[in-house]
A and B are shown apart, each in its own frame.
Chain A
Amino acid sequence: NAGVTQTPKFQVLKTGQSMTLQCAQDMNHEYMSWYRQDPGMGLRLIHYSVGAGITDQGEVPNGYNVSRSTTEDFPLRLLSAAPSQTSVYFCASSRKWGYNQPQHFGDGTRLSIL
């Protein structure tokens, strides 16, 4: 039972490069989301999706794009990497979109932008 799988685990980019962080879940969850974790800041919501074909912005969406073509996958795209995007990125999912739906997290992608 894989749960939420994120790839890659580590990545180093140069400023201006683009890349896609992959996230897949095998629990048939409707809701998926992306967070970034920075020192002293907790986890901040970047984008989220309440189902295939539906996405919306979170607290810190600038510089990131998402799409949800299937229930299972929710990739996060960095369009033109900046040093301020150096962070640990977590993907999460829950069965439904709701307030009493604890989220299941992947193990994170540690991203460094030089």
Chain B
Amino acid sequence: DQQVKQNSPSLSVQEGRISILNCDYTNSMFDYFLWYKKYPAEGPTFLISISSIKDKNEDGRFTVFLNKSAKHLSLHIVPSQPGDSAVYFCAASGSRSNDYKLSFGAGTTVTVRA
């Protein structure tokens, strides 16, 4: 049973507009969350992370929001650019040594239209 869920397999957005990607998790032991970006024929690359002690983390055009009570996080990309077209994976882990292993969502494919 998947503990990290990305319920939208795809998202299409116009260049310059906001992209919002959503992620839900079920394991209450998760308290560290990451987003990875993946281009075709390449491996995932780390994008941004957030610890459960925060509700927001920002890095340039990318902001991750965490709602721990709802077990929900989202990634905002503002403004969206053509180079943002990729698959985005949400991942989660615990902060105790037996919970370090990452659990990944199935991914959301983002297409930025010119």
Contact = CB atoms under 8 A, between A and B. Distances in A.
Interface of A: 4, 35, 40-45, 48, 58-59, 90, 92, 97-100, 102-108
A98 B100 contact: yes
Nearest to A110: B41
The bracket for how many chain B residues form the interface is: 20 to 34
A42 to B, nearest CB: 4
Interface in B26-83: 31-32, 34, 36, 41-46, 49, 51
7 contacts: A40-B106, A42-B4, A42-B105, A45-B101, A90-B43, A99-B99, A100-B32
A42 B23 CA distance: 13
B25 interface: no
B107 A107 contact: no
B49 to A, nearest CB: 7
A92 B46 CA distance: 11
A105 B43 contact: yes
A95 B43 CA distance: 17
Contacts of A4: 43
Contact of A108 (B36, B43, B93): B43
A95 to B, nearest CB: 12
Contacts of A106: 43
Contacts of A105: 36, 43-45
A107 B45 CA distance: 10
